[in-house]
Amino acid sequence: MYSVTVREHIMIAHSLRGEVFGPAQQLHGATYLVDVEFRRSTLDADGIVVDIGRAMTALRDVLGSLNYRNLDDEPALKGQNTTTEFLARVIFDRVAAAISRGNLGAGGRDIESIRVTLHESHVASASFDGRV
C-alpha cells in the first residue's frame, strides 16, 4: 500500500463533560497537529498517490471550519464531547467528503483509505482510520 501524509494545525477552545476529564471540564484551549495519510494500492498515471497541493488545500479547507473556534458553540458539534478521538472522526468524515466531491482531482477518487491523526502533545495522539 502506498501512502502520502500531509500536515496542518488547528487551535480550538472547548470543554469536556465527565469527571474523567478533571480540569479539562472547564473551557480550555488546545493546539493540534493534524496528519492525514492518504493510501492506495497502486499509483496513478503520474506515479503519485495524490497531488500533495490538492491534499493540503483540502485539509486546510476542512480545518478552516474548526480553527480558532470554541467547539462548544459550533452548531454541528453541539452536545458532543469533542475529545481528540471524536475530532479525528469529524475531520476524517470531512476529508472523505472532499474526496467524494472530487476536490483531490481525478486521481484522488482512487484513494482507498485515510488515517487522520491529531497530536495533542509530543507524547499523545489519537487517530481514526477507515476506507473512503
- Residue that the C-alpha cell 502506498 belongs to: 2
- Residue that the C-alpha cell 478552516 belongs to: 64
Residue 76 has pLDDT above 90, yes or no: yes
Domains defined along the chain, listed by start: 2-36+67-131 (3.30.479.10)
pLDDT digits (tens, 9 = 90+) for 3-42: 999 999 999 999 999 999 999 999 999 999 999 999 999 9
Kind plus residue range of the DSSP H or E element containing 7: strand 2-14
Mean pLDDT of 36-51: 96
Mean pLDDT of 95-119: 95
- Cell numbers given for 86: 471524536
What local confidence, expressed as pLDDT, does residue 91 receive?
Answer: 98
What local confidence, expressed as pLDDT, does residue 107 receive?
Answer: 81
Report the predicted TM-score, pTM, of the whole model to 2 decimal places: 0.95
Mean pLDDT of 72-100: 96
Residue 106 has pLDDT above 90, yes or no: no
Give percent of the chain with pLDDT exceeding 90.
96
| pLDDT, the chain, mean | 96
Sign of the C-alpha dihedral, residues 8, 108, 84, 124?
negative
